[in-house]
Amino acid sequence: MEGNMKKFVVIGAIAALAGLCYGATWERTYPQLGHTQDWSDRASIISMKYWGLAVSDPYFYKDLVIDPYKEVKEGEEQYFSVWVADSDPEGEIETVTVSIETDKGRIVFDLELVEGTKKDGRWMGSWTVKNISSQAYYFTQVCYRTNRGQMQARNLFLCPSLQMLPLNPEWMYFGQENSSLPSPTISSLIVDPEQNIWIGTWESGLAKFDGVNFIVYNTDNSELPNNAVRALAVDTKGNIWIATPEGLAKFDGENWTIYTPENSGVPLAINAIAIDAQDNLWLGIPRCGIDDREFLKFNGVNCEIIENRVLVSNIVRSIVIDSSGNKWIGQNNGMSGGLSVYRQGGVILPVMVTLLSPSDNSYLNDDIVNFIWNANKPGSVDHYILHYALNSGFSQGLVETTSVDTTFTTTLADTTYYWRVKAVDRAENQSDWSSVWYFEIDTHSPGTPALISPPDSSWLNDNAIAFEWSEVAKGTVGSKQCGVGSNVGQGLSLASSEHNTGSKSSPIHYILQVDTTLNFNTPITDTTNVTYDTLTLDEYLYYWRVRAYDEAGNEGEFSQVSCFVVDTTTRYNRRRNG
């Protein structure tokens, strides 16, 4: 395998030539970069290892050196330098290519061999920076190809220090190239109550990001037991819990507390942490004895082993806790593993409640409302809790009722309501709330339009007839007490509520009817949501009327009937035609 080792060293991506050149100038005007240890103090060296799976995918590593503080501007020249060494006796590097994604497409160029040989040499090239003004970073790929057909490509994120970053970009990238992130290998993430992001790295400690700055905690500057962070969790008090191979740590923002087998019974190695509503820690351990299938509960003082033989693997990878208190445990060890669930007193599989009627964002023209829902496992449900209220936060006019059925009927006044349902089992365990739906009750019919144009008994000499009528209003919502039947909770008195607005009603539309007979047996009908319309009609005597209706299904009365005559023939032609 050593004979197939390739060493791929990205020595530099330089924002500008000035101030970063060392030693003599190359004949092709490329800067001499020298060794990485002689690099500018402002540069950062990032080492990332990649492991191949076959001879055709050899082992190699790369070191990326960049100047993260140098501002990159449009029109400047930026240099790339890579050192590629192929120890394959019959191999050598044929091409090294750089590909850069910009705002206006991809730029691709080859690097030139400027030092050494194709078996072991430095390749350099440059490009003129352009089309990156709206990006927080630009994506770059360096690819080399050998004479034996082997090819490797590695992705870089080169981050210019732009004068102005794009407002609300859909994606942002944070790496060692453009931030103080201590490592590109992230093992775990959590968000604390103050919305700080805590980042656990595989080998470089813990970082806190407040949206502007990174603060790094490691074994050199803090009491973190080990720089290998395996899991993170935050409790209700905002304490950060950190699992490492050398103990469990708690950090309150100022003070560190370390838990070990000697002072708490907590094992050194922990793979997973989950915290319940009582701030108990549930710990997954990476490896126990051959016959052990255990995980742990830690209350901050004492550690309790939860014995079972359901865990099929002795490596717990992750733990989550649902609203019913079930601990879901993911595990694997080679080919064995699976998903296990634990809950003291018995596992409660989740019940999902689905709302059916009234439909979401609907209008009703009946004050008798029939709430209907269902559950995915009705056999495990003892009863349901129904909430309906005047706002989506259920803080205004809340009514709570219980029902053993999946339906509940009550009488409500005209306004908008929000509703939700949850299930409760016989042990009083509650499901999550369903989604929140809302509907509006509007039992008041629109008023009657007044016809404006054409005037009654008028003669028109144009086939395009412009109709117009008055806008109508809805009837005033009166004082009405919501009937709550036998439900538990208070009634909704809308007469005195700030939410009782008579103007709250469903949108109004109009039906225009035009016919040649007064009884409108075969009318021309058109619908509109405005108070005017235009129809093209032949010469004849016509009658017309308008009715208003709303989206709740309420209909008003038809207006009075008006008539008009369409006559586009001149008086001379009428006399001539007899």
Kind of pairing, strands 362-364 and 353-357?
Answer: unpaired
Domains 186-342 and 353-441 share a fold: no
CA distance 238 to 134: 37
- Judged by DSSP in three states, 563 sits in strand
Spatial CA neighbour of 297 closest among 307, 308, 288, 306: 306
What 8-state DSSP symbol labels residue 575?
A: H
According to the model, what pLDDT value does residue 361 have? 93
Give the CATH number of domain 2-158; options: 1.10.10, 2.10.240, 2.60.40, 1.10.3470: 2.60.40
According to the model, what pLDDT value does residue 79 have? 67
| Cα separation of the two ends of the chain | 111
The pair of structure tokens assigned to 411 is: 């009488």
According to the model, what pLDDT value does residue 380 have? 75
According to the model, what pLDDT value does residue 149 have? 67
Domains of the chain, by residue range, sit at 2-158, 186-342, 353-441
| Cis ω before 454 (30° cut-off from 0) | yes
Considering only the top CATH level, what class is 353-441? mainly beta
According to the model, what pLDDT value does residue 562 have? 96
Q: What is the mean pLDDT of each run of 10 residues along the chain (578 residues)?
A: 36 28 32 35 36 33 39 66 70 82 81 81 76 60 73 57 48 73 91 94 93 91 94 95 93 94 88 92 71 73 76 74 84 70 77 92 94 85 93 94 93 95 84 93 93 95 95 60 35 37 70 95 94 95 96 93 90 44
Kind of pairing, strands 437-441 and 362-364?
Answer: parallel
DSSP-assigned beta bridge partners for residue 298: 281, 303
List, in sequence order, every beta strand (DSSP E) within 264-323.
272-275, 281-284, 294-298, 303-307, 316-321
Kind of pairing, strands 6-14 and 44-50?
Answer: unpaired
CA distance 441 to 416: 6
Spatial CA neighbour of 89 closest among 149, 148, 151, 8: 148
* Side chain identity at residue 144, one-letter code: Y
Could you tell me which CATH number the domain at 186-342 has? 2.130.10.10
According to the model, what pLDDT value does residue 373 have? 95
- Judged by DSSP in three states, 560 sits in coil
- Dihedral (C-alpha) 273, 276, 281, 283: value to the nearest 10 degrees? -40
According to the model, what pLDDT value does residue 268 have? 84
According to the model, what pLDDT value does residue 208 have? 95
